[in-house]
C-alpha cells in the first residue's frame, strides 16, 4: 500500500524559491513589475505560466495585469527559449544579401525553424527579425549579444559548431 503525498505548502515554496528571491530583491513592489519579469525571464529563459500566476498572487495584483505586461513587450517570452538565441536579420538589406541562406543553414544544422524555433535540448532558439539595425553589415546574425556581420553560411556554421563543442565539453 503506497502513501499519498500531501502538499504542505513547503513544496510550493521550494518550487518558487527563485521567484521568491527575485520578489525579495524588488521588495515585492508591484510598481517594479517589468523589472521583476525581466529578472524572472533571466532566471528561467522565459516566463512560465505558473510563475506568472504566482507573481500576481504574491504582488497582490490581477493576473490580467501581469499577463498584459508580459504579452505587451516583445522582449518577454511565454515559451521556453534556448541558451543561445540566434537572431537572423531579414530586413531589406539582409534579405537582398541572402539572409534566407542563414535561416536555411540553422534549420538544416539544428533542426529548428519558425515552426519549431527551439531545439529539444533547449540549447538553441532561432528568431527571424525584421531589422537588427546594422544594415551596413548585411547579412547579420546576433547570437545572444555577439553580432556577426557580412555573414556567410559557412561562417555561421563554424559559430554553431563551436557552440555545440563548448556544450559537449569537447
Instruction: State the CATH number of the domain containing residue 156.
Output: 3.40.30.10
Both 162 and 92 in one domain: the answer is yes
Both 164 and 91 in one domain: the answer is yes
pLDDT at 75: 85
Q: Is residue 1 part of a domain?
A: no
Both 94 and 63 in one domain: the answer is no
Both 28 and 99 in one domain: the answer is no
Instruction: Work out how many domains the chain is built from and give that number.
Output: 2
pLDDT at 126: 96
Both 42 and 112 in one domain: the answer is no
Domain that holds residue 46: 10-72
Both 152 and 93 in one domain: the answer is yes
pLDDT at 26: 98
Give the end of a domain, one of 21, 51, 72: 72
Both 48 and 105 in one domain: the answer is no
Q: Is residue 119 part of a domain?
A: yes
Question: With helix as H, strand as E and coil as C, how does the chain read?
Answer: CCCCCCCCCHHHHHHCHHHHHHHHHCCCCHHHHHHHHHHHHHHHCCCCHHHHHHHHHHHCCCHHHHHHHHHHCCCCCCCCCCCEEEEEECCHHHHHCCHHHHHHHHHHHHCCCCCCCECCCCCEEEEEECCCCCHHHCCCEEECCEEECCCCHHHHHHHHHHHHHHHHCC
Q: Is residue 4 part of a domain?
A: no
Give the end of a domain, one of 21, 48, 72: 72
Both 93 and 160 in one domain: the answer is yes
pLDDT at 71: 95
Q: Is residue 3 part of a domain?
A: no
Both 106 and 66 in one domain: the answer is no
pLDDT at 13: 62
Both 152 and 113 in one domain: the answer is yes
Q: Is residue 5 part of a domain?
A: no
pLDDT in tens, the chain (170 residues): 444 433 435 556 677 999 999 999 999 999 999 999 999 999 999 999 999 999 999 999 999 999 999 999 988 999 999 999 999 999 999 999 999 999 999 999 999 988 999 999 999 999 999 999 999 999 999 999 899 999 999 999 999 999 999 998 87
Q: Is residue 2 part of a domain?
A: no
Amino acid at each position: 500500500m503506497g502513501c499519498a503525498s500531501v502538499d504542505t505548502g513547503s513544496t510550493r515554496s521550494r518550487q518558487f524559491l527563485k521567484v521568491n528571491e527575485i520578489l525579495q530583491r524588488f521588495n515585492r513592489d508591484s510598481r517594479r513589475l517589468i523589472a521583476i519579469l525581466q529578472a524572472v525571464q533571466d532566471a528561467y529563459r522565459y516566463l512560465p505560466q505558473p510563475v506568472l500566476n504566482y507573481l500576481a498572487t504574491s504582488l497582490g495584483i490581477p493576473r490580467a495585469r501581469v499577463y498584459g505586461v508580459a504579452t505587451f513587450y516583445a522582449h518577454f517570452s511565454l515559451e521556453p527559449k534556448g541558451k543561445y538565441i540566434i537572431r537572423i536579420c531579414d530586413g531589406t538589406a539582409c534579405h537582398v544579401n541572402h539572409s534566407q541562406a542563414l535561416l536555411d543553414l540553422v534549420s538544416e544544422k539544428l533542426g529548428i525553424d519558425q515552426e519549431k524555433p527551439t531545439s529539444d535540448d533547449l540549447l538553441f532558439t532561432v528568431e527571424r527579425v525584421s531589422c537588427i539595425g546594422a544594415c551596413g553589415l548585411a547579412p547579420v546574425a546576433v547570437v545572444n549579444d555577439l553580432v556577426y556581420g557580412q555573414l556567410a553560411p559557412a561562417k555561421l556554421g563554424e559559430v554553431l559548431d563551436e557552440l555545440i563543442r563548448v556544450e559537449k565539453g569537447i
